[in-house]
Amino acid sequence: MRIAELQVRSNRILSIVADDGRVGRFDVSLYLQYEAFEALRDKTEFKKVVNGGYFVERNCGADLSADTIEARWQVVGKVARQTTA
């Protein structure tokens, strides 16, 4: 999966649109118990996110791969994606 769009929602939720049009939610709170994700307990730090395509990246190093997200996200719909010729 490649992440086409990424938005930060409340309660440590990421809203994601995959390149194939699937739309889903990923709950990052499940990872906050781990030392690598400790910085994300701060709401300001949690909002500092970059769509790396195959990764959700953060300056603090608490990155998540698209594979990890795909394995645990909740798909809530699908949007039509335009392809370029």
User: In this predicted structure, what is the pLDDT of residue 32?
Assistant: 93
Q: Strand, coil or helix: what is 16?
A: strand
Q: What is the pLDDT of residues 19-61, one digit of tens each?
A: 999 999 999 999 999 999 999 999 999 999 999 999 999 988 8
Q: Which domains does the chain have, with CATH numbers?
A: 3-78 (3.30.2020)
User: In this predicted structure, what is the pLDDT of residue 81?
Assistant: 65
* Helix and strand numbers, DSSP H then E, in the chain: 2, 7
Rounded average pLDDT over 10-20: 94
Q: Taking a C-beta distance cutoff of 8 angstroms, is the pair 3, 51 a contact?
A: yes
Q: Taking a C-beta distance cutoff of 8 angstroms, is the pair 33, 27 a contact?
A: no
